[in-house]
Amino acid sequence: MSATPSRHRLHPLLFEDVVRAALREDLGRAGDLTTEATIPPDLEAEAHVVAREAGVAAGLDVAAYAFSFYDPRCAVELAVPDGARVGAGDRLATVRGPAASILTAERCALNLLGRMCGIASLTRQVVDSLDGTNAHVVCTRKTTPGLRALEKYSVRIGGGANHRFGLDDAVLIKDNHIGLCGGVRAALDAVRGRVGHLVKIEIEVDTPAQLAEVLAHGGADVVLLDNFGLDQLAAAVSSVAGRMVTEASGGITPERARAVAETGVDLLSLGWLTHSPRSLDVGLDL
């Protein structure tokens, strides 16, 4: 087990509604029928949250909150910080309190924890594969509705960085915007005349010709090179020559990520970090 404390922390205000909704969904209209029928209400228990496989811990505060929110008598002691690399069988946390409450909140806590650990583990895998390059891994808005703050946090825990959080914190002019607006120059002019000076502007290009238009205009801070081949990416980075941040996107698999990074791009944008992760297998042992 490697414990690397995380500099990131999610305030409960960012996830308490998620936990509340998840518990409400699980309890349904009649509560936990099984536990209420089988477990005495005064029975106390101690349980360990355990990793069933190797990965990166993320979301432990969220899981702990699920237990304590359902029943404040549940006390959770974290064994590792978010960001720690854990192995199969490693204890992540200990929960003490009424056995019935621990069992009722278990699935909500583990569902959120497993997904967040899965995203962090996948991100860490890609970040590690880029060691020695100058490229950074970023996620996208392809997140599970309602879970964006948690999923983007998990990317950060895995060593990646976040793209925009929503439609309101940066401009990203995509191919449909360009087509409907009348071209690259028209789109850049429209945006620059509308947004404030602190708002970053990124534009997506599909061809070297579009990139040349962007460079001639000079109205963007970041250029998104969408579905460029490796040779095209290298040529694009050379032509940009540091005047803008370069971001590669489209068809970047874990196997291809390092080759893309070696073209010299600044960012690798990977939607599958949040839309297609496999949850890490975590369990609760009483």
Judged by average pLDDT, the poorest of 8-12, 43-47, 49-53, 190-194 is 8-12
Active site residues: 107, 142, 174, 204, 226
The whole-number average pLDDT for the span 165-181 is 96
Six-digit token pair at 121? 């583990």
> What value does the mean pLDDT of the chain take?
96
pLDDT, tens digit, for every residue of 89-131? 999 999 999 999 999 999 999 999 999 999 999 999 999 999 9
- Tell me what the mean pLDDT of segment 160-184 comes to: 96
Class at the top of the CATH hierarchy for domain 129-275? alpha beta
80/5: higher pLDDT: 80
First to last CA, the chain: 22
Domain ranges of the chain: 12-119+278-285, 129-275
Q: Is the pLDDT reported for residue 2 higher than 80? A: no
* Model confidence at 158: pLDDT above 80: yes
pLDDT-derived band at 9 (thresholds 50, 70, 90) equals: confident
12-119+278-285 CATH: 3.90.1170.20
| pLDDT confidence band for 193 (50 / 70 / 90) | confident
Query: pLDDT digits over 226-266, tens only?
Result: 999 999 999 999 999 999 999 999 989 999 999 999 999 99
Asked whether residue 3 carries a pLDDT value surpassing 50, the answer given is: no
Q: What mean pLDDT comes out for the span 56-79?
A: 98
pLDDT value at position 6? 54
* pLDDT tens by residue, 203-224: 999 999 999 999 999 999 999 9
Residue-wise pLDDT for 28-41, tens only, equals 999 999 999 999 99
Sign of CA pseudo-dihedral 221, 252, 112, 120: negative
Q: What is the 3-state secondary structure of the chain?
A: CECCCCCCCCCHHHCHHHHHHHHHHHHCCCCCHHHHHHCCCCCEEEEEEEECCCEECCCHHHHHHHHHHHCCCCEEEECCCCCCEECCCCEEEEEEEEHHHHHHHHHHHHHHHHHHHHHHHHHHHHHHHCCCCCCEEECCCCCCCCCHHHHHHHHHHCCCECCCCCCCCCEEECHHHHHHHCCHHHHHHHHHCCCCCCCCEEEEECCHHHHHHHHHHCCCCEEEEECCCHHHHHHHHHHHCCCCEEEEECCCCCCCHHHHHCCCCCEEECCHHHHCCCCCCEEEEC
